[in-house]
Structure 1
Amino acid sequence: MADTAAEAEEKFIAEAKTRVSFVRQTGDALSRDTTVTQLVERMITHLRATVDDPDSPVRPQTIDRYENTVAILRGDYAGGKYPTIGDYPLSEVTEDLVHEWLWDVSVIGPSMGAQCRSAMLRAFDLAKDRGVRLWPVNPAKEAKLKRAPRHIARALTVEERERIIGNVTAWQTPRKRTDLLSIVRMLADTGMRPGEALALRWEDVDLTGAKATVTVSGTVVELKGKRADGKGIRRQPFGKSDAAYRTLTLSSEATTRLLERRVSASSYLVFPNDVGGVLSLRNIGTRWRKARGAEFDGVTLYDLRRTVATELDRKYGPAAAAAQLGHTSPAITGRHYIERATVVGDFTDALGTLR
């Protein structure tokens, strides 16, 4: 509420300017008759117009994922297997409708349900900001989703890790242009995210100190669009969160491997593709599945990360593991990355009688 008529007028003018700016940007205003699909499309347009702003709340790849919500709302995603409320005008949208739709989407695909909820939260917030105030609270705010089965973190044993590296070594013949072996060893040594390892530049590596270090300062992403427009596979100069920006100390073995690699390096990247550019995460994943060996079907590159986290937790505690992995909280590391034994309780009183 404005305290004076002058303040009320000033607020009204500011809001009007904002709405005019948005209309120019999207080509149309929002109203009660705007459909849900149109609302989400305009939310995406608005985000793309501001994504290059350093203070933008979203990353380009997040906006790309929001496009999946539009496809679902149109009924043309994954052969139309998801339900849709895209044709509903906002005037007919209720909290129950949104909640039921998001639940149904999450039952089919838990991760897709979470993506759609995130997109709808932003879309309905935008509608409110643009003067469409039809709901007391954001209709997606309290929506419940079916969660995916929890992944139980499993750390590889020392023997398993060595066998996997042996399998990758056997796969890595001279004719293989992608140096998967060196990437796998870096992940096993440091617990980096795969995209972080592919984004490493030689300027991020310090081999001159008493102990060598690497600074994780970016990641590899794949954005929808043409490479000429700055899209496609690219190095993103920041990580998943502020905690992702970190300096890691290397073991002597990892240092030796990087020193040998530095001698013949011809790219600014530590692990480039065959023409010196950025490697594709998808291609690395495909090669990993071929190279890891049949006995390790189901073991992912992220399991190397979980192995590092578990080893550090057992020796130094969860805070050290979280710092190494670039997590904002040890709770995240403990929930998803550290292998935990089941605590069965203290039954010694009963067991003591079995003699």
Structure 2
Amino acid sequence: MVKQRRRDKGDGGISEYRTRAGPRFLIKYAVPREDGTTRVVLKRGFTSRRDAAVALRAELRKAETGEWVEPSKQRLDAYLAEWIQTQRLSPSTRASYSKNIRLHIDPPLGAHRVGRLTGPMVDTWMRKLEATGRADGGGGLSARTVRYVFTILRSALSDAVKQGQLSVNPTDRSAPPSPAEARPPEMQAWTAPELARFLCWADAQDADLAMGWRLLAATGMRRGEALALRWRDIDLDAARIAVRRSVGVVRAKGAGEELVEGPTKTGQSRVVDLDAGTVAALRAYRMARGRVSPDLVRDTALVLSNLDGSHRHPERFSRRFTAQVARARKAMGEDQVPVIRLHDLRHTHATLLLADGVPVKVVSERLGHASATITLTVYQHVHPGMGREAADRFAALLEG
């Protein structure tokens, strides 16, 4: 057995201690203060001696080069309350961050000092969220939600490192749910006959709502983008729509909720061309709205507004779609209209175009994706057949 070399006084030390979760290791080292004195630092929570040794070498190197940062003594909940106010976020994103901090980060972690957080502590927190994290007591959070909350904490602590309040980000040493585990629910899409069947039925039931479903299916717009669309954004003669903004629900604790308009998801405007059938439907819809009130068809009026001209509530709009799909299935047969969500009209738009051979770049621009890579990733289920078709087309070119 090789005897370990005894560390010199300036080399720091590693010690093992016991916890209910098993053995853990701490490191102990000295760092110089600005007044010339030294301070002894203890850091706990390492799960192996090897991890502790790596961390000790890193801390000693920082002390030698003057890069060592004294850990913040501020509580995490106080730090997060300050941090969220400094972030440039849309109102809906800020509200979402604040809600998740309040419900899922503050209660279990908020009382800890920022400088005392460790990777194992973050891991334990996430495993508890997965097991019992729902605020209503209904069990654990999904892997997708846990990863989202973890991302908020990671971003906040990354800023603490940049600001000199932490030397390392403890989330770098933790294991959040993987992207594969946090994958969103499998998307559903209608076939062209199923979509046409539903739109025809919906138009006979409620032409006002049916215009909304048709617009989403024909353009691939997001729900909030369609509900923020104004008549001045539509050029019926040129058969084009300018997608410039989106509306969402913003909730603040103690202040209820409000509908707030903001930029699109990517922050970029785009122009989407319309088919002749959708243009004709929009002309008829506008004439019908104008008969109700001239105010509903002014350039500044919302296209899919309530009859008083106000924004439709996005979540209620989705529920109306779900209810109509259920009624359509009952009226026409469950095999005629499969169950999908409102957002799946966007997936239907993209899937039908890609399957028909429309270039990915064109589809990406219609959807408002930040890049065609996102479109390829999201709709990779469409590509195998397209690849075979491309090979057959190439062979036909050679034969020709």
TM-score, with length taken from structure 2? 0.64
**Partners of 1:280 and 1:31 in 2: CA distance:** 46
* Equivalent residue letter for 1:283: R
* Equivalent residue letter for 1:220: V
1:214 alignment partner, SS class? strand
**Partners of 1:298 and 1:69 in 2: CA distance:** 34
Of the candidates 361, 379, 382, which is equivalent to residue 319 of structure 1?
Answer: 361
Cα displacement (A) at 1:304: 1.5
Cα displacement (A) at 1:196: 0.9
* Segment drifting more, 327-336 vs 215-224: 327-336
Q: Does 1:41 align with 2:81?
A: yes
Question: Do 2:354 and 2:382's aligned partners in 1 also have CA atoms closer than 8 Å?
Answer: no
Matches within 5 A, 1:47-62: 47=87, 56=88, 58-62=89-93
Q: Deviations over 1:228-255 (max 9, x none)?
A: 99x711222x10004x511011111111
Question: Do 2:354 and 2:360's aligned partners in 1 also have CA atoms closer than 8 Å?
Answer: yes
* Equivalent residue letter for 2:152: A
Matches within 5 A, 1:194-343: 194-209=223-238, 212-225=239-252, 232-236=258-262, 238-242=263-267, 244-263=268-287, 264=290, 266-267=295-296, 268-293=301-326, 294=329, 295=334, 296=337, 298-314=339-355, 315-337=357-379, 339-340=381-382
Of the candidates 80, 91, 94, which is equivalent to residue 63 of structure 1?
Answer: 94
**Partners of 1:65 and 1:279 in 2: CA distance:** 20
Of the candidates 197, 211, 226, which is equivalent to residue 163 of structure 1?
Answer: 197
Which structure carries more relative contact order (alpha carbon 8 Å, separation 6+)?
Answer: 1
2:109 alignment partner, SS class? coil
- The alignment covers a number of residue pairs equal to 286
5+ unaligned residues in a row in structure 2: which ranges?
Answer: 1-69, 132-140, 389-400
Of the candidates 164, 167, 172, which is equivalent to residue 206 of structure 2?
Answer: 172
**Partners of 2:261 and 2:71 in 1: CA distance:** 39
Q: 1:205 to 1:304 in 2, by over 3 A?
A: same
Q: 1:208 to 1:287 in 2, by over 3 A?
A: same
**Partners of 2:365 and 2:175 in 1: CA distance:** 32
* Equivalent residue letter for 1:61: S
**Partners of 2:182 and 2:366 in 1: CA distance:** 26
Question: Do 1:151 and 1:336's aligned partners in 2 also have CA atoms closer than 8 Å?
Answer: no
Q: 1:316 to 1:66 in 2, by over 3 A?
A: same
Q: Of the two, which has the highest radius of gyration? A: 2
Cα displacement (A) at 1:88: 1.5
* Equivalent residue letter for 1:241: T
**Partners of 1:122 and 1:205 in 2: CA distance:** 39
2:78 alignment partner, SS class? helix
**Partners of 1:116 and 1:269 in 2: CA distance:** 34
Q: 1:241 to 1:149 in 2, by over 3 A?
A: closer
1:233 alignment partner, SS class? strand
2:382 alignment partner, SS class? coil
5+ unaligned residues in a row in structure 1: which ranges?
Answer: 1-29, 48-55, 76-83, 174-178, 347-355
1:215 alignment partner, SS class? strand
1:340 alignment partner, SS class? helix
TM-score, with length taken from structure 1? 0.71
Q: 1:339 to 1:128 in 2, by over 3 A?
A: closer
Q: 1:203 to 1:90 in 2, by over 3 A?
A: same
Percent of pairs identical after alignment? 25
2:196 alignment partner, SS class? helix
Question: Do 2:245 and 2:264's aligned partners in 1 also have CA atoms closer than 8 Å?
Answer: yes
